Structure formats: C-alpha cells, structure tokens
Amino acid sequence: MSREAAITFEHVTFSYRGMGHGKPNLSDLHFTIQKGETLGIIGEIGSGKTTVLNLLMRLYDADQGRVLVDGRDVREYPRAELKEKFGVVFQNDTLFEGTIAENVSLGRELTGEQLQEALFYARASEFVERREEKESESLNIKGANLSGGQKQRLLIARALAARPDILILDDSSSALDYRTDAELRRGIREFLPDTTLVIVAQRVSSVRSADHILVLEDGRAIGYGTHQELLKNCPVYREISQSQMGETGEDEQAVGKEKAGEDERSVGEEEAEANEWAGEKEKNGANERASEKEEAGEDERIVGKEETGEDREVSGNA
C-alpha cells in the first residue's frame, strides 16, 4: 500500500534576484517524499539547502515549477494553515529567559505528560532530571547556563511538542555527539512515526539512515538516493563520507545499525534504562537515609559513652 506524497518539488527553479538575473539559486529540482519518510539534505555552504526550506515553507515562491505539500500547491494554502503543518528547529534558534517548561511549551497549554514526552524523545530528560528544580529550573537569556547540546535538545523538544505533520531540523544537532544524535533520530521516529522529517546537516551520520538523501552543489541536485546508493553513484557524497569516517570511527559505530530496524537500543531497553535510573535514584536516597541514621546512631553512642564516662568520673570524685 503506497503512502500519499507529503512533499513534492516539481522541476523547481528559483533565484533570489529574479529570473534572468544571473545564475539561479536552485535549478530544476525534482523529488517526492512520502508521508512519514525522512529526507536528508547535505551540501556545502551556499549549495541551496536553506533555499529548499524557504520554498517548502513558502517564504519565497518558485520562479518555475511547483512546490506541493500533501498534494497541494503551497501557493494555494492560507498562510496560517501552511504554517501549522511545520515544526522547525533552525541552527540559530534561541531560548529565552524563563523556565525549561516555559521554553518548551512556548505559550501552548501543554499537560505535564505532553511536556515530559517531548523532553524524553528529544533526549533532554537526562539532563533536565539532574537539575535541582527539573523542568521548573530557570534558564538565563539565550540558555547561557546550558551547553550547546542541551540547548539544541530543548529546542527540538519544543518542536516535538507541537506534533507537526512535517518536522524540519536545520543543522540542529551539530553540537551533539554521534551516539546522542543517532538516539535522538530514533526517538523522533518512535514519537512521531507518521511525521515527515527533513534533516539538513553537514555530517553524513545525521542523514545516512534517511529514506532519501539529496546532495546539492551550486543549486543543483548532483545526487539523490539512499546512503548505499550514493556511495556507489555520487562521487561528491562518497568523498564527504570517506572524509568524515576517516576523522573518527565513532561515526560508523554510532549509526551503523540504524537501517533495517537494527537499532542498538530498542524502546524497551530505553524504558528499562529509565526505570533503572529511577531505581538508582531511589537506592541512592535510601542509602543517604541509612547513612543519616547510622551517623545519628553513632552520635548517640558517642554521647552515651561520654555521659557514662562523666558519671564514672563524678562517682570517683565522690
């Protein structure tokens, strides 16, 4: 049973300066992504990655061709209706001064369960739970009291909370290590299996498990296919991949089992880990209480000995 098309670019050409004024920023771009699939977009700075996103969200209109969302030309949508279909995390998005919960909810009335789900699947629960006030912890302006990876995970949690039809991640996991990045993408798929995912990235590891990968160079598609197909048929992609794999072996180890359902950690394992973490916390609390009791008992024994010694001394003096 075939799924319906979620995103279609029909021979799209576009120039920020207008047609006929120099070289187009995108030339004859043509592809289709089905609902629930993942599209990875990779290429150098200036290759056209951001332009694809701008046309998809209709920040600009194509000069030639059509951009369709759910089989409908984006120019036919009311602006508000089209906007509601997207959840977007840009590389330069910021956090504001307020609590973690306020930054994730962003004015929406989220239940406690919805908030916790978004944090968990964005892989943010791990560090939020270690905070003294957890999701009620206050953040500094621009999240200055968080690491780069922690900021990115909260921004992704903000987007996940909206449960969008199309989720766009624009180089928004660049501060994460390879393993956390891979776990994050698995978490998104578990949480939003029917959401169409668009990942723009510099790292091959961030897109290699995508259903389709678009390789851009100077506004043109020079490669389109799966990771394995592009390794065989796209010299530029193969060069990027080999270059990055040569820099670190972590890449291969972290994401090598993502395809074909060979996840290193299943959902059940993650739940078990969460339960183990909760049990460890309870155990630590019990140990602290036991330690306090032991210390209190030791104090009582010391005081008792001191009092007994004093009684004997007084009795001897008498």
Whether 61 shows a pLDDT value over 90: the answer reads yes
Same structural domain for residues 69 and 177?
yes
Strand order in the sheet with 166-170: 86-89, 166-170, 196-201, 38-43, 212-217, 220-225
Residues of the chain with pLDDT > 70, as a percent, come to 75
Same structural domain for residues 274 and 248?
no
Residue 72 within a domain: yes
Mean pLDDT confidence for 26-50: 94
What is the pLDDT, as a whole number, of residue 3? 63
Same structural domain for residues 310 and 234?
no
Same structural domain for residues 74 and 109?
no
281 against 158, higher pLDDT: 158
Tokens describing residue 83: 């906007």
Mean pLDDT confidence for 95-99: 86
d(CA 308, CA 145): 54
Same structural domain for residues 295 and 156?
no
Same structural domain for residues 70 and 176?
yes
pLDDT tens by residue, 283-314: 444 444 444 445 445 444 444 444 444 444 43
What is the pLDDT, as a whole number, of residue 260? 42
Mean pLDDT confidence for 10-16: 95
Same structural domain for residues 176 and 81?
yes
Residue 71 within a domain: yes
Residue 129: give the domain boundaries. 92-163
pLDDT band of residue 171 (cuts 50, 70, 90) is: confident
Residue 187 within a domain: no
Same structural domain for residues 56 and 72?
yes
Q: What are phi and psi of 60, to 5 degrees?
A: -140, 160
Same structural domain for residues 77 and 176?
yes
Into how many domains does the chain fold? 3
- The Cβ of residue 201 has, within 10 Å, a number of other Cβ atoms equal to 23
d(CA 61, CA 174): 29
Residue 188 within a domain: no
Residue 190 within a domain: no
pLDDT band of residue 78 (cuts 50, 70, 90) is: very high
Residue 96 within a domain: yes
Residue 230, domain CATH: 3.40.50.300
Domain boundary among 246, 265, 284: 265
Same structural domain for residues 203 and 256?
yes
Whether 316 shows a pLDDT value over 50: the answer reads no
Mean pLDDT confidence for 48-62: 95
Domain boundary among 265, 285, 308: 265
Domain boundary among 265, 283, 310: 265
Contact 99, 132 (CB under 8 A): no
Same structural domain for residues 311 and 286?
yes
Same structural domain for residues 56 and 73?
yes
pLDDT tens by residue, 174-210: 777 778 888 888 888 889 999 999 999 888 888 988 9
What is the pLDDT, as a whole number, of residue 37? 95
Q: Tell me the pLDDT of the chain averaged across its residues.
A: 79
